[in-house]
Amino acid sequence: MPAGLFHENYHTDERIFQTWFAKVWLIAFLLGGVLFPVFGSKYAISIMIEVGIAIIACHGLNILTGFTGQISLGHAAFMGVGAYACSILIGQAGLPFIVALPMAGAVAALVGMIFGIPSLRLRGLYLAMATIAAQFIIEFTIRRWDSLTGGVEGMLVDPGSIGPFHFDNHYHLYYLTFILAIAATMATKNIVRSRSGRAFVAIRDRYLAAEVIGVNVFRYRLMSFAVSSFFAGIAGALLAQYLQVITHESFTIHQSIDYLAMCIIGGLGHLLGGIYGVGFWFILERILEVVTTTLNSTYPDHMTWFVSIREIVFGFVIVSFLIFEPDGLAARWRTIRAYWKLWPFSY
């Protein structure tokens, strides 16, 4: 292995995958993803669909919060917009899924931009509160607009299909989610490398300086809201296909907090942060599920004690990550890699 990266021209410097090592791992990962349904159980596949959806949503949130520095506590609400938009477009307007999916993203992006308008004047804390308000207002609209969304009883989602693929089949849905998750990752990577991505980061780091060097802060903030909500909308539409019945309860403020927590655990402002965070979150969730069921069967008299283990553990995880590793798993991974790279001759 080389002792470092030595770029001799701009072309190598701007490559996405800079070492053959990264390329090999990527190909192995893609192969694993493609072949997964062959040996994965039905349960494992449905979990992987959830993972893929969460990754798309987290990339969106990471663009907004991690790269642009705008705290959003309403991400799940934007997913809800996408989910309902897609299902309504398929079910009531009769559009084909392949048209309805991007349109759901667009509708979510539009709603996201509307709630992003306060970012003209607000930053930080105040903007976080505006997004909390967005969360509640959207949730309320979903719950009360009975004629369109089915109200509290929820809505049956017509399964979408593209050609021979019908997404009520979890194998087909798995591949769709997998492809879209990879597309979302690539899109995020390329947005961040582009002119707008650099503007986002400039706004995050010091927005006054960004304005001085000619970044139109309001425009790029709105753009960030739109991109983030577009991702959320796509993730929401997929979630609707996966759940098949959607209610407002899938898109509450708790989910919004969960997505933000995943991003923070993974590492805000790191491309792979969303993926690490989602992975960590789902693995921990499965472990806790096993622990809870074991405890329940061992102490059947004290069932009530274990109902909330999940919440407590996740609370502790969030708090301890923020105290001990505020840059998340991505930063931890980098330090580990840096340590082993030249081991044992680190000097």
> Applying CB under 8 A, which residues contact other proteins?
65, 69, 71, 117-118, 121-122, 124-126, 128-130, 132-134, 136-137, 140, 144, 208, 211-212, 253, 257, 260-261, 264, 268, 304-312, 314-319, 322-323, 326
Indicate if the alpha-carbon torsion angle 306, 307, 308, 314 is positive or negative: positive
Look at residues 252, 231, 247, 230 and name the one whose alpha carbon lies nearest to residue 87: 247
**Nearer residue to other proteins within complex by CB, 65 or 229:** 65
Token pair 């976080």 is found at 128
**Nearer residue to other proteins within complex by CB, 240 or 330:** 330
What are the residues facing 102 on neighbouring strands?
Answer: none
CB of 140 to other proteins, least distance (A): 4
**Nearer residue to other proteins within complex by CB, 242 or 281:** 281
How far is Cα 265 from Cα 332, in angstroms, rounded to an integer? Answer: 10
CB of 345 to other proteins, least distance (A): 35
User: Taking a C-beta distance cutoff of 8 angstroms, is the pair 156, 168 a contact?
Assistant: no
CB of 6 to other proteins, least distance (A): 34
Task: Report angle CA 201, 68, 283 to the nearest 5 degrees.
Answer: 110
**Nearer residue to other proteins within complex by CB, 5 or 125:** 125
CB of 232 to other proteins, least distance (A): 18
Q: What does the CA dihedral 79, 281, 223, 232 come to, rounded to 10 degrees? A: -20
Indicate if the alpha-carbon torsion angle 338, 341, 343, 347 is positive or negative: negative
CB of 326 to other proteins, least distance (A): 6
Token pair 């903007």 is found at 127
**Nearer residue to other proteins within complex by CB, 144 or 166:** 144
How far is Cα 155 from Cα 251, in angstroms, rounded to an integer? Answer: 13
CB of 211 to other proteins, least distance (A): 5
**Nearer residue to other proteins within complex by CB, 87 or 135:** 135
How far is Cα 150 from Cα 213, in angstroms, rounded to an integer? Answer: 49
